[in-house]
A = this chain, B = another copy of it.
Amino acid sequence: MVNHNRPLDLAFGAFSHPIRRGILSRLAAGEAAVADLARPYRVSAPAISRHLRILERAGLLSRRKQGREHRLRLEHRRMEEAQRWLDEQHALWNQRLDRLEKYLKENP
């Protein structure tokens, strides 16, 4: 039951920081360059650069160099995998709660 799922590890790890979540939200609205993504935060450029590296390693975004700027865009596939895991959990515990409720209804 080792169930090694490195992509999911990386994706959830990436979600665990507010700046990275902010960047993903921003990218949901469409492509952007590093400077655009950095603007809202009061951290240094290298800090942003590393957040981007973490997101990229997790497969949550991809980059293409266009002139001197890097344009980032969301990769929703990986995002959806994470969502799927949470949905599954939700289904699991709901299923259990439903059974419980049914049992209580039948055994008053």
Contact = CB atoms under 8 A, between A and B. Distances in A.
Contacts of A8: 15, 18, 21
A73 B5 CA distance: 24
Q: How many copies does the complex hold?
A: 2
Contacts of A103: none
A104 interface: no
Interface stretch (A44-52, A62-70, A77-85): A77-85
5 contacts: A2-B41, A25-B89, A28-B92, A79-B93, A83-B83
A16 interface: yes
A9 B89 CA distance: 19
A4 interface: yes
